[in-house]
Amino acid sequence: MESLTLVIFGITSNLAQIKLIPALYDITEKGLLPKKTHIIGVARSPQSFGWIKDYFHQTLHSENRHHRHSISSEVLKNLNKRLYYLNGNLDNPKFYLELVKLLKKIKSDNTIFYLATYPELYQDIFANLKKARLNSQARGFTRVMIEKPIGNNLSSSRRLNKLLSQYFSEDQIYRLDHYLGKETLQNILTFRFSNRLFEPLINNKYIDHIQITSSEDFGIGNRGGYYDKVGALKDVGQNHLLQLLAFALMESPSEFTNQEITRQRLKILQKLKPQTAKIVFGQYQGYLDEKNVEVHSKTDTYFALKTFINSNRFKSVPIYLRSGKKLAQTVTEVAIIFKHLPGASRASTLIYRIQPNEGIVLKILTKKPGHTTQLEDSYMQFCYQDGNPLPDAYEKLIADCIRGDQTFFNDAEEIEAQWKFIDPFFAKASKGKPLIYQPGSWGPKEADQLIQSDGREWLEPSMLFCKI
Q: Which tens digits make up the pLDDT trace of 159-197?
A: 999 999 999 999 999 999 999 999 999 999 999 998 888
Q: Is 83 helix (H, G, I), strand (E, B) or coil?
A: strand
3-147 CATH: 3.40.50.720
Where are the chain's structural domains? 3-147, 180-390+412-452
Residues in the chain: 468
Q: What integer pLDDT is reported at residue 468 of this predicted model?
A: 59
Indicate if 180-390+412-452 has the same CATH topology as 3-147: no
Q: Which residues contact 127 (CB under 8 A, 6 or more apart)?
A: 167
Tell me which long-range contacts 428-435 makes (C-beta under 8 A, separation of at least 24).
Answer: 428/276, 428/277, 428/279, 428/281, 429/233, 429/281, 429/298, 429/300, 433/283, 433/298, 434/281, 434/282, 434/283, 434/298, 434/299, 434/300, 434/301, 434/302, 435/280, 435/281, 435/282, 435/283
Which one is catalytic: 66, 178, 240, 340?
A: 240
- In angstroms, rounded to a whole number, what is the distance separating the alpha carbons of residues 205 and 172? 42
DSSP for 118-164, please give it: -GGGHHHHHHHHHHTTTT--SSS-EEEEEESPS-SSHHHHHHHHHHH
Residue 240 bears catalytic tag = yes
180-390+412-452 CATH: 3.30.360.10
- In angstroms, rounded to a whole number, what is the distance separating the alpha carbons of residues 383 and 369? 25
Q: Which residues contact 281 (CB under 8 A, 6 or more apart)?
A: 233, 300, 302, 303, 428, 429, 434, 435
- Rounded to 5°, angle at Cα 227 from 117 and 281: 145
pLDDT (tens, 9 = 90+) of the chain, 468 residues, equals 678 999 999 999 989 999 999 999 999 999 999 889 999 999 999 998 889 999 999 999 987 666 767 889 999 999 999 999 999 999 999 999 999 999 999 988 899 999 999 888 999 999 999 999 999 888 889 999 999 889 999 999 999 999 999 999 999 999 999 999 999 999 999 999 988 888 999 999 999 999 999 999 999 988 888 899 999 999 999 999 999 999 999 999 999 899 999 999 999 999 999 999 999 999 999 999 999 999 999 999 999 999 999 999 999 999 999 999 999 999 999 999 999 877 666 789 999 999 898 999 998 888 888 888 888 888 898 988 655 678 889 999 999 999 999 999 999 999 999 999 999 998 766 667 899 999 999 999 999 999 999 999 999 998 888 875
Q: Which tens digits make up the pLDDT trace of 25-75?
A: 999 999 999 889 999 999 999 998 889 999 999 999 987 666 767 889 999
